[in-house]
Amino acid sequence: MLVAEVVVRILEEEGIEAAFGIPGAAINPIYKYLARSKIIKHYTARHEEGAVHAADGYYRASGKLAVAICTSGPAATNFVTGLYTAQIDSVPLVAITGNASTDQFGKEAFQCVPIAEIVKPVVKASYCITEPEDMVSILQTAFRVSKEGRPGPVLIDLPLDVQLAEIEYDPVSYKPLTWEKPKPDSKKIDLALDMIMDAREPVIIMGGGVILADACDELREFVEYMSLPVVTTYMAKGGLPAGHPLHVGHVGIQVGQPYANSFFLNTDVVLGIGCRFTDRHTGDLSVYRGKRKFVHIDIEPTQIGRVFPSDLGIVSDAKLAINALLKRSQERGLRRGPTLETMGIPKKRSRLTRKTDYDDYPIKPPRVYQELNRVFDDNTLFYTGCGLAQIWSGQLQEVDMPRRYLPSGGAGTLGYELPAAIGGKVGCPNRTSVAVVGDGGFMFMAQELAMAAQYDLPIIVVIVNNGYLSLIRQNQKYAYGCEYGVKLWYDDSGHNMTDFVELAEAIGCKGERVERAGEIQGALQRAIESKRPYVVDIIVERETDCSMGANIAEVREFLD
């Protein structure tokens, strides 16, 4: 059997149902057999980066792996940004690239690049298969590596002569590999409980790893049993309902919320589960750490102590650790009552929530997110990339379920949101899939609207359009006292700008422009009802600044 056929057979055995990619000469043997698959459906992207983001967004929404596939040379190098985006956010996927024949390696042959070496710093693993007989074991290992421990993307590079080689393969004997999830040290679980019981004002940090481990229900049971307040990282948005009485909100210097930041500063023991203590969460570490004691639970041993030393580190799968915490606290008869601060969470959280009900003209950006909260139901998938549109989204959107708010967190990738929303719609066809994007970010991957149109995938793109690279404008303004290279409208009138509605319609989608706050709700409803890919271009006030700061004690607020 040809290696190319075996690859497709293995993809089917590993449960792959969706492949996003662009064919080319160096990968066409695989495409010959993809075309014959009764299980895998292929979606043709318009840029190879978009294919990886779509596979990424598919997993984030559905919890199922997808494949990104492309040919050699610039096609393969276009995968790099998408792979980095998935890696930093712990998203498993398998990327397959074609390459020139092995006898062309090292000779600067046409479209021949050492992609497996190029991507090594931004993937969990990469393999260039030069011996056809190794393909089965390597691909089998790639799927296990992608999913075990801290998940991440794996790249397989397949030279053309390897794809066309004959090998022995028994489909009946192929089985996906399994792995063990790390269990927590029981003595350390007891120590963590002792620290919680001795604390004056403890707090749980719910990280994105809790969602990846499908442990949101378990965490909710534990914190309710122990009356423990919860702050969420950006990647854990939706892991606990926004209105839950123990949910304080987001801590951070950008997507952080005023009450959550102030609450955190009054804590003395912090239990972080499945979080990385990344810089946009912590800000200035001297302020963030203070005199607090930290317990850090993570599935990846190298994450513990990477940013700062923990007082107690526990290597474990999040679900296993949370279950152990609950079981052991019950066995020992340990249970805390809520503190006065904890009992006051709902009232104070409501009082310190940022204002969104602006009726101004031009539209103030926070009003857009008020309407998103009103119009879309709990089952909606939201994707966002980077910029002020993304930061406002993190600050102001209310999400009550896990795997519904699906941003590019660690990479902050402009252009991620649109193709990722397409992948989400493929993976979860019964959910509304929405990309929330600035006008700058939209243009990074606007061409992927054609993929949505071709396959009749009714995603909704909400553009918060202020005619600027507005996060960079704000940074230039306050850090450097300048403004240069950040205007995207051709003049300041607002009349001379890219017409995103015409662009959408030219690609086969629908769209409309909104310039008044009262028009937003109706436009969003029409987008839902259209059952077509739909762009809602919302023109907002141009120079509204967004709340942020260097540390969580000094976040500057610009709106009342």
- Inform me whether the pLDDT recorded for 560 exceeds 80: no
Q: Please compute the mean of the pLDDT values over residues 271-297 and round it to a whole number.
A: 98
Which domains are delineated in the chain? Answer: 3-171 (3.40.50.970), 186-351 (3.40.50.1220), 365-539 (3.40.50.970)
Strand 534-539, strand 510-514: pairing: parallel
pLDDT of amino acid 538: 98
pLDDT of amino acid 492: 82
pLDDT interval class at 66 (50, 70, 90): very high
pLDDT tens digits for 100-126? 999 999 999 999 999 999 999 999 999
pLDDT of amino acid 527: 98
- Contact call for residues 321 and 213 (beta carbons, < 8 A): no
pLDDT interval class at 148 (50, 70, 90): very high
Helix orientation angle between 388-396 and 365-375, rounded to the nearest 10 degrees: 50
Q: Please compute the mean of the pLDDT values over residues 468-489 and round it to a whole number.
A: 97
**Letter for the amino acid at 470?**
S
pLDDT tens digits for 407-448? 999 999 999 999 999 999 999 999 999 999 999 999 999 999
- Inform me whether the pLDDT recorded for 494 exceeds 80: no
* 215-223, long-range: CB < 8 A, 24+ apart: 215/274, 215/318, 215/319, 215/322, 216/240, 216/402, 218/319, 218/322, 218/323, 218/326, 219/273, 219/318, 219/322, 220/244, 221/326, 222/322, 222/325, 222/326, 222/329
The answer to whether the bond into 301 is cis (omega within 30° of 0) is no
Q: Please compute the mean of the pLDDT values over residues 302-329 and round it to a whole number.
A: 98
pLDDT interval class at 559 (50, 70, 90): confident
240: which residues sit within 8 A by CB, 6+ positions away?
206, 216, 219, 220, 230, 232, 246, 247
pLDDT of amino acid 127: 98
**Closest by alpha carbon to 314, among 518, 290, 198, 324?**
324
pLDDT tens digits for 391-401? 999 999 999 99
In angstroms, what CA-CA distances link 397 with 138, 234, 456, 487?
42, 11, 27, 26
Percent of the chain topping pLDDT 70: 100
Q: Please compute the mean of the pLDDT values over residues 5-14 and round it to a whole number.
A: 98
pLDDT of amino acid 82: 98
- Contact call for residues 209 and 275 (beta carbons, < 8 A): yes
pLDDT tens digits for 186-220? 999 999 999 999 999 999 999 999 999 999 999 99
**Claim: this prediction has a pTM higher than 0.95:** yes
The per-residue pLDDT of the chain, averaged, comes to: 97
Separation between Cα atoms, residue 69 and residue 166, nearest integer Å? 21
